[in-house]
Amino acid sequence: MKIVIDKSIPFIEGVFEPYAEVTYKDGPLISKEDLTDAEALVIRTRTKCDAALLDGTPVKIIATATSGTENIDVPYCQSHGIYFKNASGCNAGGVSNYVFSAIFGAAAKKSIPLTGRTLGIIGMGSVGQRVEAMGRALGFKIMRFDPQKAEIEWYTQFSTLDELLANSDIITLHIPLTDSTKGMCNAAFFEKMKQGAFFVNTSQGDIVVENDLIDAIPRLGPVIIDAWSHEPAINTRLMNLVDIATPHIAGYSLQGKQIGSSMAVRAVARFMSIRELYDFFPTTDNMEYQAVKIDVLDKSQGQIAAIMQYNYPIFTDDFMFRMNPTKFEELRSNYSYRREFYL
């Protein structure tokens, strides 16, 4: 059997070699020619898996080491008997760390008090739930919007989108890109937000109409953008206006990458009956990269901001990106995975 793997996926080189022929290649450059005799494809978000790539190939399984599936033509795969598996929730801890490092960092730079503020979370999947838990632990009031979850969890409290926008001091997006969410954050959306409210997007760039966001920035509070339309060719005008700009690395924690890679390996292993890899999980003995518990009890907002910046200095990522916006993919591929923190 042959497996084609995106060479930027960490912890995976050498794992499959005892059991299969393996080819590594840049994710965006994987072509149909690479798959002429491949049964499995292990990717990130940069490989577009559709008819153009897959037609006429023997690929039977696609495993992605990331949570998103926007790059996979799901109907095509389903109709052609191609099994696919994403690493759902693998980035939840990293994104949650990013969100609060950004919020506390931006608030500190602009001297904005956070006591008593309401955090509005749009999307209550694995990431949204982790953000909610950390937000509550930090003393934020919480509003939640997720129509699909609301139907299932009718016994818990959800808000309408208009209610959340009108009453939240901070809006953070944690939703996939779908036909219904594309362009969701448009002029009408921003007009309904409270004046001075924070806006955070770590989801997908095309959820936001970027020109409408540019127009809205003068009436908003801090704007934090990690996901951009037309990546890697990002809107530099928007970048120059926002408070924190990063190259779609919110979920790039060491723990998140360990989980994502292990989920992808396990999916392929189980599909191909490679029993030795059923419970694969990459480990590190370096204590510097172990997740760390931070103590925020009885700490001031400034102290919490300093603790978070010590554990994740988000402005370093911001500076590096602003200095090199044309090196979007290079910054992502060469990113030094950070350790996660928890409360």
Position 202, amino acid: T
CA distance 93 to 315: 19
Residue ranges of the chain with per-residue pLDDT less than 50: none
Which residue has 């696919």 as its token pair?
84
pLDDT at 20: 97
Please, which residues bridge with residue 253 across strands? 338
For residue 237, what is the enclosing H or E element? helix 236-241
User: Distances from the Cα of 100 to the Cαs of 202, 220, 307, in angstroms?
Assistant: 12, 18, 11
Q: Within this chain, do residues 147 and 30 fall inside the same structural domain, yes or no? A: no
- Domain check: are 78 and 99 in the same one? no
**Of 48, 64, 86, which residue sits at a domain end?**
86
In a domain, residue 182? The reply is: yes
In this prediction, residue 287 carries a pLDDT of 65
174 and 103 share one domain? yes
Shared domain check, 246 and 139? yes
Are 75 and 218 in the same domain? no
278 lies in some domain: no
Strands (E), the chain: 2-6, 21-25, 40-43, 61-64, 83-85, 118-122, 141-145, 170-173, 198-201, 223-225, 244-245, 292-293, 341-342
Whether 110 is covered by a domain: the verdict is: yes
| Number of structural domains found in the chain | 2
Residues 204, 72, single domain; the answer is: no
The C-alpha atoms of residue 220 and residue 191 are separated, in whole angstroms, by 10
Q: Which of 86, 121, 146 is the last residue of a domain?
A: 86
For residue 287, the tally of other CB atoms under 10 A from its CB is 8
Give domain status of residue 20, yes or no.
Answer: yes
- Coil, helix or strand at residue 53: helix
Q: Over the Cα atoms of the chain, what is R_g?
A: 20
pLDDT in tens, 43-60: 999 999 999 999 999 999
- How far is the first Cα of the chain from the last one, in angstroms, to the nearest whole number? 45
- Give the whole-angstrom CA distance, residue 37 versus residue 32: 10
- Is residue 304 located within the same domain as residue 159? yes
Domain boundary residue among 39, 66, 86?
86
Report the alpha-carbon distance of residue 307 to residue 322 in Å, rounded.
Answer: 24
Other C-beta atoms closer than 10 Å to the C-beta of 95 total: 26
CB 149 within 8 A of CB 124: yes
Q: Compute the C-alpha angle 143/156/297, nearest 5°.
A: 55
Looking at the fold, whether 75 and 203 belong to one and the same domain comes out as no
Q: 207 with 185: CB under 8 angstroms?
A: yes
DSSP string for 292-321: EE---TT--HHHHHHHHHHH--HHHHHHHH
pLDDT in tens, 280-290: 999 877 667 78
239 & 324 share domain: yes
Q: Tell whether 262 is covered by a domain.
A: no
User: Looking at the structure, do residues 120 and 174 belong to the same domain, yes or no?
Assistant: yes
For residue 288, tell me if it sits in a domain.
no
Residue-level pLDDT at 238: 98
CATH of the domain at 173: 3.40.50.720
187/95 Cα distance (integer angstroms): 26
Same domain, 224 and 238: yes
The answer to whether residue 65 sits within a structural domain is: yes
Domain span at residue 28 reads 2-86
161 and 60 in a common domain: no
Asked, for residue 302, whether it belongs to a domain, the answer is: yes
